Copies of this chain bind each other. A is one copy, B any other.
Amino acid sequence: MSRPEDILQQHRLKHTRLRKAVLEKLLAADKGLSHQDLSKDLEVSCNRVTLFRTLHVFEEAGILHKIMDPDGTSKYAYSTHPEGSDTHSHAHFVCLYCKEIFCLNEVALLKGLKVPKGFEKVQLDVQIKGYC
């Protein structure tokens, strides 16, 4: 398990209190967190916009991945890359009642999935919806 500082260093991102706090929360979470979740729970106070930008930066860097919940709000989760897995593919369980999003590790069986002609596959997202 990596520490916030190491992750920032590894991606040549400046170390700030907010960034460390955000990473800490997301490393500890077993599920995707929304902007709102984070702004509630962070002990570090910050501007709404800054938090949005922080999340973007992490997403661009590939540290986090974004998942849309059924209501269209973005949730972010730390991108683990278990061995043998396609870097850019994810499987999630989405609860239709509480809207929580859990990351799963079952992408294996999807490797061979083929796309129609004229399309170029980049990333695969599987959402299993149901109730937790």
Contact = CB atoms under 8 A, between A and B. Distances in A.
Interface residues of A, number: 34
Contacts of A66: 70
A109 interface: yes
A27 B8 CA distance: 49
Interface in A47-67: 66
Contact of A93 (B102, B112, B116): B116
Contacts of A123: 96, 128-130
Nearest to A115: B128
Contact of A130 (B102, B104, B115, B126): B115
B129 A124 contact: yes
A125 interface: yes
Nearest to A123: B129
B113 A106 contact: yes
A93 B72 contact: no
Contact of A74 (B72, B110, B121, B127): B72
25 contacts: A68-B72, A96-B122, A96-B123, A104-B115, A104-B116, A109-B109, A109-B112, A110-B126, A115-B128, A115-B130, A118-B132, A119-B130, A119-B132, A120-B131, A120-B132, A122-B129, A122-B130, A122-B131, A123-B130, A124-B128, A125-B126, A125-B127, A125-B129, A126-B126, A127-B127
